[in-house]
Structure formats: structure tokens, C-alpha cells
Structure 1
Amino acid sequence: MQNSKDIDNISNQLRELKKNIDRSQEYLSALEMLMVDDNNGRLKDADLAHEFKTLTNSIASVSKNIEVLEKKLYN
């Protein structure tokens, strides 16, 4: 990309997106704590845990994709 104004605008949007991803990861950590049984440290619902893991992996994937976009933007 050649236009520095466009690069700056895209960079700003990616930065905001990363902030939201970070917040989402914080929420997921809180949810994970709620899903663990206090008595024995196991997950309360295996099916729910599987879906939760899928969501966690998806958000991690989005985060990695943002990093790839940033690298491509500046190269």
C-alpha cells in the first residue's frame, strides 16, 4: 500500500480491533473461571467446555490474523 494516510487509518483500526480482542480474551478468562467446579477443579459441563474452547481458539486465530495484516501493511 502506497498512501500513508490509508496506512495510518488502517493501522488505527487494527489497533482498535486488537484492543477489543484483548477485552474479549479477558472476558473469556472470567467465563472459564465460572465454568470450573470449585470443589474439584473440573469443568462443570464438558459440552459447554468444548464450545468454549472452540471460541477461545477462534479469537486466538483472529488475533494472529491481525498480526499478519499489520506485518503486510508495513512491508
Structure 2
Amino acid sequence: MSDHVPSAKLRMANDIVRQWAHLSAQERSVRLAQHVNSFWEPRMHVRFETQVAAAGDTCDPVIVEAVRLLVGP
């Protein structure tokens, strides 16, 4: 069992992605990236990217791909 506890931003991203479970993984990644770009402050982008990188293999690949698609702050 992992002791890794996701950050609030990772939990939020997971919650958002779950809302689109009916879509393909690629479409969920695109929509999450669009959501983050539209509604999150630039400093939230930076923290989110850092937290996803720190989560490594425990992070949902959909979220990892969304971070790759983000427009820089």
C-alpha cells in the first residue's frame, strides 16, 4: 500500500477527469488542459506541474498528458 497522498490540486484534477469518464483518455487530457488553462491562475499551473512530476508513476497518465498540453504561465 502506498503512503502517497495526492495534493489538493491532484485530487481536483482527478475529480475533474472522472467527470469525463465516458470520453477517450486523449479527450480527457485535452479537456483537463483546457480547463486548467481557462480557470487556474499561472502560479497554480506551476504547482500543479511540479506536483504531477513529483507523483511520478502514481499519477494518472491522463493527467500527465494534460500537463504536457498546458500552455505555459
More helix by percentage: 1
TM-score, normalising length: structure 1: 0.28
Larger Rg: 1
TM-score, normalising length: structure 2: 0.28
